């Protein structure tokens, strides 16, 4: 963009005096240049280089042909070599937002800041369905943070600024515009709602921020169409905010689920059902044990409204269902035999094979690892509702073991306050010093006394 401004100024200087741009026009060009520079100066300290050493022999997911060149940098690396990407610091305590494909199957993750400091990062959580991940580094002082914007307010044609590390060229700044919004069926992730931009994005930019002219993050740069030019995609920051919040608090993402098989309403199918193409989503099957079983929904129904919002295509329905908190009732309208039929469904929790990332390592100080209590776990343990955190592992001889904690215990309260999520629980323990202790109230399934108190004390680890 600076080249463009310079070209304008050169051309202007070559014109006769009467044809040169008015002082007001020159001031506008200068103000635009200053805006780009201000964004670079303010945000670059919050952009990090993320490098990884892959696990030996770890496979990577197959990438669609049109994006393969963009991902080759990550796929072709030998196990002993490093792959690089970008990230953006979103919390002064060291939380970093990046792409899942940047850190996927990493045995070691290193983060380098703009001041050249290096930290070993831990994986807080990852979400392959949106291609997002959250890392954490332990720094001696608060880190610079990028301000998050509002991607729902984007307008096609407005300026877009990308900062990242393409091909290892640290903190490269490129400028373009927002070419389109709400791009789906790109083929990169399950839940797609991409921002399209022509700001230059290359391998190594993945995970870096896409910014507006105010320097606020509006997206996470993710992919390009390798066969094209100026066609890049970024995950909207509003979508990333919710994923990031859940990864930081739970270590995983909880999504709503209907337990139905759906498909696009093609032109032929639309004619067969007597409706218009892309005017709803066709229900192909109902899972016998899924949330929609018994709701009255039937194969052949065409979902046209979900929770009061009009539904036109499959990706839109997927996103709206996923955004519902499990356990909520949602009103759905379907077309059946040419008539609109109301159906009410209690949304369940989407099953996942994705392991929960350990929010903190099982260390010598506590010897404890916890995970969220999901609705399924709550039902299995006969808890009245999902609450607290469940003990996933206890190290022999550690503080948790000395306190009498066991794998499978559900921790409900900490010093009399309800435990709401795993992230808050582990962060509270982090703040304690040697010799300090906390009172835990727990539920132990199958025990003679199912609920009781224990004291957990932080001690200096024994040699």
Question: What are 286-344's pLDDT values in tens digits?
Answer: 888 789 998 999 888 999 999 999 998 888 898 899 989 888 999 999 999 889 999 99
Q: Read off the pLDDT of each residue in 101-129 and give the average, rounded to a whole number.
A: 88
For residue 317, list its beta bridge partners. none
Q: Give 270's pLDDT tier (boundaries 50, 70, 90).
A: confident
- Does the fold of domain 368-457 match that of domain 258-349? yes
Contact (Cβ atoms closer than 8 angstroms) between residue 115 and residue 143 = no
Comparison of pLDDT for 172 and 5, the residue scoring more: 172
CATH number of this structure's domain 258-349, picked from the four choices 2.60.40.10, 3.90.1150.10, 2.30.42.10, 2.30.38.10: 2.30.42.10
In this prediction, residue 25 carries a pLDDT of 81
- Most confident listed range (66-80, 172-186, 233-247): 233-247
Give yes or no: 206 in active site. yes
Q: Give 205's pLDDT tier (boundaries 50, 70, 90).
A: confident
Q: Give 226's pLDDT tier (boundaries 50, 70, 90).
A: low
Share of the chain above pLDDT 90, in %: 22
Per-residue pLDDT for 13 more than 80? no
Closest CA to 424 of 354, 360, 355: 360
Q: Minimum mean pLDDT among 64-78, 118-132, 158-172, 303-317: which range?
A: 64-78
Catalytic, out of 131, 170, 409, 421:
131
Closest CA to 254 of 427, 155, 147, 376: 376
Question: How high does pLDDT run on average in the chain?
Answer: 80
In this prediction, residue 341 carries a pLDDT of 94
What's the Cα-to-Cα distance from 327 to each of 233, 289, 343, 422, rounded to whole Å? 33, 15, 16, 20
Catalytic, out of 206, 301, 409, 443:
206
CA angle 395, 401, 402 (to 5 degrees): 140
Q: Give 142's pLDDT tier (boundaries 50, 70, 90).
A: very high
pLDDT digits (tens, 9 = 90+) for 100-114: 988 887 878 999 998
Contact (Cβ atoms closer than 8 angstroms) between residue 210 and residue 159 = no
CATH number of this structure's domain 368-457, picked from the four choices 1.20.1440.130, 3.40.50.300, 1.10.3720.10, 2.30.42.10: 2.30.42.10
> What distance lies between CA 341 and its chain's CA centroid?
35
Please give the backbone phi and psi of residue 349, each rounded to the nearest 5 degrees, phi first.
Answer: -95, 130
Contact (Cβ atoms closer than 8 angstroms) between residue 165 and residue 49 = yes
Q: Read off the pLDDT of each residue in 232-239 and give the average, rounded to a whole number.
A: 90
In this prediction, residue 384 carries a pLDDT of 64
Residues 6+ apart with CB under 8 A from 17: none
Closest CA to 178 of 208, 221, 207, 148: 221
Comparison of pLDDT for 97 and 422, the residue scoring more: 97
Give yes or no: 101 in active site. yes
CATH architecture of 46-254: Beta Barrel (2.40)
Q: Give 423's pLDDT tier (boundaries 50, 70, 90).
A: confident
Contact (Cβ atoms closer than 8 angstroms) between residue 72 and residue 60 = no
Give yes or no: 131 in active site. yes
Catalytic, out of 86, 101, 295, 421:
101
How far is residue 446's CA from residue 463's CA, in Å, rounded to a whole number?
35
What's the Cα-to-Cα distance from 204 to each of 37, 73, 90, 163, 210, rounded to whole Å? 22, 8, 19, 10, 14
In this prediction, residue 55 carries a pLDDT of 66
Give me the residue spans of the domains in the chain.
Answer: 2-44, 46-254, 258-349, 368-457
């Amino acid at each position: 963009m600076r080249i463009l401004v310079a070209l304008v100024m050169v051309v202007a200087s070559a014109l006769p005096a009467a044809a040169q741009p008015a002082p007001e026009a020159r001031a506008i060009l200068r103000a635009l240049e200053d805006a780009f520079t201000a964004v670079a100066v303010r945000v670059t300290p919050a952009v990090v280089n993320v490098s990884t050493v892959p696990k030996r022999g770890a496979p990577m997911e197959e990438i669609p042909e049109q994006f393969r060149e963009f991902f080759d940098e990550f796929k072709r690396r030998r196990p002993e070599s490093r792959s690089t990407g970008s990230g953006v610091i979103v919390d002064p305590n060291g939380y970093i937002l990046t792409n899942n494909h940047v850190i996927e199957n990493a045995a070691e993750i290193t983060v380098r800041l703009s001041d050249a400091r290096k930290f070993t990062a831990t994986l807080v959580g990852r979400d392959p369905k949106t291609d997002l991940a959250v890392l954490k580094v332990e720094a001696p002082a608060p880190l610079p943070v990028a301000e998050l914007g509002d991607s729902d307010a984007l307008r096609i044609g407005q300026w877009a600024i990308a900062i990242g590390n393409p091909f290892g060229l640290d903190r490269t700044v490129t400028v373009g515009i927002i070419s389109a919004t709400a791009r789906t069926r790109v083929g990169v992730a399950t839940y797609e709602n991409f921002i399209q931009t022509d700001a230059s994005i290359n391998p190594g930019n993945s995970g870096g921020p896409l910014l507006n002219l105010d320097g606020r993050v509006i997206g996470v740069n993710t992919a390009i169409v390798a066969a094209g030019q100026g066609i890049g995609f970024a995950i909207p920051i509003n979508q990333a905010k919710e994923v990031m919040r859940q990864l930081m608090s739970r270590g995983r993402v909880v999504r709503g689920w209907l337990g139905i098989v759906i498909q696009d309403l093609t032109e032929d199918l639309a004619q067969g059902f007597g409706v218009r193409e892309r005017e709803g989503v066709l229900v192909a099957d109902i899972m016998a044990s899924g949330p929609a079983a018994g709701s009255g929904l039937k194969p052949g129904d065409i979902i046209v409204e979900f929770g009061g919002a009009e539904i036109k295509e499959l990706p839109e329905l997927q996103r709206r269902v996923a955004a519902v908190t499990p356990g909520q009732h949602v009103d759905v309208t379907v077309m059946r035999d040419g008539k609109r039929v109301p159906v009410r469904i209690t949304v369940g929790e989407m099953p996942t094979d994705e392991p929960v990332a350990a929010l903190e390592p099982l260390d010598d100080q506590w010897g404890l690892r916890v995970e969220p209590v999901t609705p399924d776990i709550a039902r299995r343990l006969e808890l009245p509702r999902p609450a607290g955190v469940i003990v996933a592992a206890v190290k022999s001889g550690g503080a948790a073991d000395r306190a009498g904690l066991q794998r499978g215990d559900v921790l409900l309260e900490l010093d009399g306050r309800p435990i709401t999520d795993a992230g808050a629980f582990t962060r509270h323990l982090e703040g304690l010093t040697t010799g300090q202790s906390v009172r835990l109230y727990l539920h132990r399934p199958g025990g003679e006394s199912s609920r009781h108190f224990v004291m957990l004390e932080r001690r200096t680890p024994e040699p």
